[in-house]
Amino acid sequence: MSQEFSALEQDLQHKMEVSLEHAKKEFSGLRTGRASTALLEPVMVEAYGSHMPLSQVASVSVPEPRLLSVSVWDKGMAKAVEKAIRDSSLGLNPVSDGTLIRVPIPPLTSERRAELIKVAHKYAEHARVAIRNVRRDGNEALKKMEKDNAISKDEHHKYADLVQKMTDDFVSKVDEALKSKEAEITQV
């Protein structure tokens, strides 16, 4: 195997892994009826004249399966944190108790479950597209390598097959993650 292809293969693998990890991170933010600290990661709080992630003004814990506990570090920020959680599109209703904010996780309705599954499918499709774009870039790099006589026509075909196999592997990993998330969402 040529050194040029080895470097290209590592680069492609890294980019596909990043796409897969991004999809998994998006999946973790989808509500499943169980409390998870990842649920509040996308929440941005209006703090000190700018928007900050919730994790920079408070700590989040899970004391019970259906309850999140947000401990605000600066008492003056409690109202802003409560407002940010309420205004997020998560459908949560926080209850403030000084610097401690309790966020009960309501059970999911069947309509909400269906919505979440649609969102999960959208995230998975974005990941598949990103992985296919990496494959396209890899194939273009192989064409250029062949044109520059760095690899032969036979090597080009062999390497293109390897890139396709890598793509198929990562797409199936995205599909597995989606299937797992769907099972989690539909679990009552």
- 10-residue mean pLDDT series, the chain (188 residues): 83 94 84 75 84 89 88 88 84 85 85 85 94 96 92 92 96 95 83
- Residues 24 and 51 both lie in one domain: no
42 with 76, same domain: the answer is: yes
Strands 67-72 and 95-97: unpaired
Q: Tokens at residue 6, please?
A: 């080895």
Specify the pTM. Answer: 0.71
Let me know whether 86 and 140 are in one domain: no
Q: Which residue has the tokens 């998006």?
A: 26
| Containing structural domain, residue 70 | 37-104
Query: In this structure, are 119 and 174 located in the same domain?
Result: yes
Q: Angle, nearest 10°, between helix axes 3-28 and 153-186?
A: 10
Asked if 182 and 124 sit in the same domain, the reply is: yes
Q: Quick one: 88 and 69 in the same domain?
A: yes
- 47 plus 16 within the same structural domain: no
pLDDT for 88 equals 79
Q: How high is the pLDDT of residue 188?
A: 64
Alpha carbons within 13 angstroms on the beta-carbon side of residue 139 total 14
The residue from 104, 123, 151 where one domain ends is 104
pLDDT at 20: 93
Beta strands, E only, the chain: 44-47, 50-53, 58-64, 67-72, 95-97, 100-104
Instruction: Say if residues 48 and 80 touch (Cβ distance below 8 Å).
Output: no
Residues 150 and 120 in one domain: yes
Judge if 92 and 78 occupy the same domain: yes
pLDDT at 39: 80
User: Smallest Cα–Cα separation from 47: which of 90, 97, 96, 83?
Assistant: 83
Number of domains in the chain: 2
Asked if 24 and 114 sit in the same domain, the reply is: yes
Same domain? For 131 and 84 the reply is: no
